[in-house]
Amino acid sequence: MTLHRLIEQYIGYRHSLGERCHTNGSILRSFGRAIGARTAVKDVRADQVDAFLAGVGPITSTWHVKHGALRGFYIYAVSRGHVVASPLTTVIPKRPPNFVPYIYSRDELRRLLLATDVYQHNRSCVEPTTVRTMILLLYGAGLRLREALALARSDVDLDARLLTIRQTKFYKSRFVPVGPQLCAALACYARRPQSRVPVVGDGAAFFTTRAGATMKRDTVEDIFQRVRECAGIIRSDGARYQPRLHDLRHSFAVHRLTSWYRQGLDVQRLLPQLSVYLGHARLDATSVYLSMTPELLDEASKRFERYAKVEGVRHA
Query: How far is the C-alpha of 50 from the C-alpha of 42, rounded, in Å?
Result: 16
156: part of which helix (H) or strand (E)?
strand 156-157
* Cα distance between residue 207 and residue 32, in whole Å: 36
Tell me, yes or no, whether 209 and 127 share the same domain.
yes
257 in any annotated domain: yes
290 beta partners: none
Measure the CA–CA gap between 26 and 137, rounded to whole angstroms.
Answer: 29
Evaluate whether residue 179 is within a structural domain: yes
Chain centre to alpha carbon of residue 122: 29
Residue 227, amino acid = V
Sign of CA dihedral 50, 55, 57, 59: negative
pLDDT reading at 262 higher than 90: no
At 302, which helix (H) or strand (E)? helix 294-314
Give yes or no for residue 11 having a pLDDT over 90. Answer: yes
CA 55 to chain centre: 24
Whole domain around residue 70: which residue ranges? Answer: 3-79
Residues 185 and 188: their CA atoms lie apart, in Å, by 5
134-181 pLDDT per residue, tens: 999 999 999 999 999 999 999 999 999 999 998 776 667 899 999 999
Least trusted range by pLDDT, from 135-149, 220-234, 269-283, 299-313: 299-313
Q: Which residues are tagged catalytic?
A: 144, 169, 246, 249, 280, 289
Within this chain, do residues 120 and 159 fall inside the same structural domain, yes or no?
A: yes
Helices 106-115/128-140 angle, 10° precision: 160
d(CA 49, CA 73): 12
Assigned domain for 212 exists:
yes
Residues 119 and 206 in one domain: yes
